Copies of this chain bind each other. A is one copy, B any other.
Amino acid sequence: MTLFEAIKERYSYRGEFKPNPVSREDLTKILEAGLAAPSGGNAQTTYLIGVDDPELIKSMSAILNKTSTVTAPAAVVVISHPKPVYKDMCFNIQDYSAAIENVLLAAVDLGYASCWIEGEITADPVRQKAYAELLGVPEGFNVVCFLPIGVPVSEGKRAVHRPFEERASFNRFTFTI
């Protein structure tokens, strides 16, 4: 798939998945894509866990209270290690978000669908801690995102984007909100 095709094809899929497995080879490619993203000051604050253990997927879905993700044959869990890199500024959110975008694009390229599930974990310290315990994530590292990976059962509903002219312009901010 070309880059532009992958960018165009990606969308947040919230449905159930087919039982087709995600091979360890595909999961590795997806993780490598995530790790190839840039990071502020090259601090590489993002860690990725590829999950293909059905019991883990089941437990993580139960914590999220989601019936759709339990059908995912695989997932990527994103872990962030905040540390200041420039004038006491941390760029760990930027780092992991760029990595997640690469993960989502790589998943699409390989024929899978996914969805960026973050707030449902990070807004809830109980869930976040439960994830950390399940995966053995130590203090100082934050579980920030769960990305189910699998072949979608059917085409999901795509989010509608406002038109180009309302979000992009040339040489001047021209938007009225």
Contact = CB atoms under 8 A, between A and B. Distances in A.
Contact of A53 (B3, B34, B171): B171
Contact of A38 (B28, B87, B159): B159
A122 interface: yes
B91 A118 contact: yes
A106 B5 CA distance: 11
Nearest to A5: B3
Given A2-B2, A98-B100, A7 B106 contact: yes
Interface string A72-96: 0000000101000111010101110
A40 interface: yes
A104 B49 contact: no
A5 B106 CA distance: 11
A71 interface: no
A138 interface: yes
A91 to B, nearest CB: 7
Given A32-B164, A119-B91, A159-B42, A52 B171 contact: yes
A12 B46 CA distance: 17
Contact of A118 (B37, B40, B53, B101): B40
A135 interface: yes
